[in-house]
Structure 1
Amino acid sequence: MKNLSQPLNLSGKIIFSCLLFFFVASMPLLATPVITIIGDNPLTHDVNTTYTDLGATAVDGNNNDITSLITVQIGVRVDIPGVYQVKYSVTDGLGNTANAIRMVLVSDRIAPVINGPATIVVCLNDFSFTEPTVSVTDNYYPTVNLTRTGSFDITVVGQYPITYTATDASGNTNVLVRTISVVDCTQTTGVAEVQKTSLGVYPNPSNGIFEVIFTGESCGRLTITDIQGRTVHSMEAATLNSGRTPINISEMPAGLYFVNFHNTTVKIAIVK
């Protein structure tokens, strides 16, 4: 009988090693799954805005995708600033479990909104004028600190900047610079004055819909420019009917505009 205690010959050792290799290679890995969180962690989110989690991916110990097996618990309150958690958990086919946590910081980063006209046109010496107020809304705080700086002189033609600054309790700040234009509304307010200037507009001020009225030469290009010199309307004067034509620039913001024809310029105030 062969002595089994004798060492295997070389060929037997090779066969044994190969069998052992294939046996080990075919065994499933015992490593736990790996969860990869998508996006920032920690993540900052604005208060009172909808939170949508970006999710995560997962692979098992054999690097197989098991993302579909992830369960998610979202414990985020968007209405109250604070630190919250989103918890991810996954279990592979062998019962190995992995967990991961995303930290979510809910905070107020949104500046208040100042509501009110940025441009106002008022007639010279109109002492009945009262500057329109502004209102402030904030995404979180019910009250916001609002300051106003600047002034205007109703007796002097000019443009006056008024600055409103709104700051909430989180330190978020927004600024509205309002321009109050004091203009001489007695210039070219009707047909009688057109005879003096050969060019006029009526009514003035207007809401952006008015007539251009002129006498004399009617051939040339008529343009309307804003206070920065930008052309907002242009047409050939030959298309005017009987020295009068309707103009509609009501889509333009309130402010001071200039009607130009040849060497004559007439101011018109657009009010809303």
Structure 2
Amino acid sequence: MILTQINWNPDPEIVNILGLSIRYYSVLFLSGILLSITVLKWIFKEEKLPEANLEKLSMYGVIGILLGARLGHCFFYEPGYYFNHPLEILLPIQFTSNGGFEFTGYRGLASHGGALGLIIALFVYSRKTKHAMLDTIDLIAVVTGLAAGFIRLANLMNSEIVGMPSTKPWAFIFKRIDNIPRHPAQLYEAICYFLILAFMLFLYKTKREQFKNGVFFGTVLFLIFAARFFIEFIKENQVAFESSMQFNMGQLLSIPYIIVGLGFVTYGIRKTRKQLSLQV
């Protein structure tokens, strides 16, 4: 069967009930987080950790991801605009030229900021529960690809973060943007993240005793942001100033995470081997 290019034009809004807009982005974003929490519940049982800890982790994690992702977009990608419109950073509105405002939802969430916000939230959780930080981030790392994949599917439904023009038979024509066939970069990324999820679950089931002390965290950090770095080569720039850069903002922000990820893997393997040798 020969694939043909796909005309892509879904309405981002699923339904509007009495002025309340329910959108694919919100549904998929929340679904990814809730499914991640469900898998974490199983992991916490495997680790024999109290369920109360999972409730705290879920609360801190969701707040950290949302706050970090929002601030990351505002300060990394559009600092000039949001410094002049500070109320729009945390309020889901946009002020109009006539002095009024309209409800727009949060237009812009950055995964790099979300990752940083989550790490800060995990630090707070560890302090509150006395659950070791390295162990906490290792458990979160196992399910990170699940939430990340759903977020990219949400971007696909919004026809945003599109790829560059392409002649591939599976190219998408994002009708809300133009009539040019493009790489479905959001779909590429989502598939990568779901594959990373499968790999991390495999590692957890087979190598939990050998890989501790931040190895899982470092592995997922490296894999996700390495995938992000290379996929950025076939994405359109999100903001105008990126056109003059050799690497775009997404790639530049990915490099520190890749380096930190490798550092955690190296440190974790060495420390775990040392601990296992002392037990023999």
Which TM-score applies when normalising by structure 2?
Answer: 0.20
Structure holding more strand per residue: 1
Which TM-score applies when normalising by structure 1?
Answer: 0.20
Largest Rg, 1 or 2: 1
Structure holding more helix per residue: 2
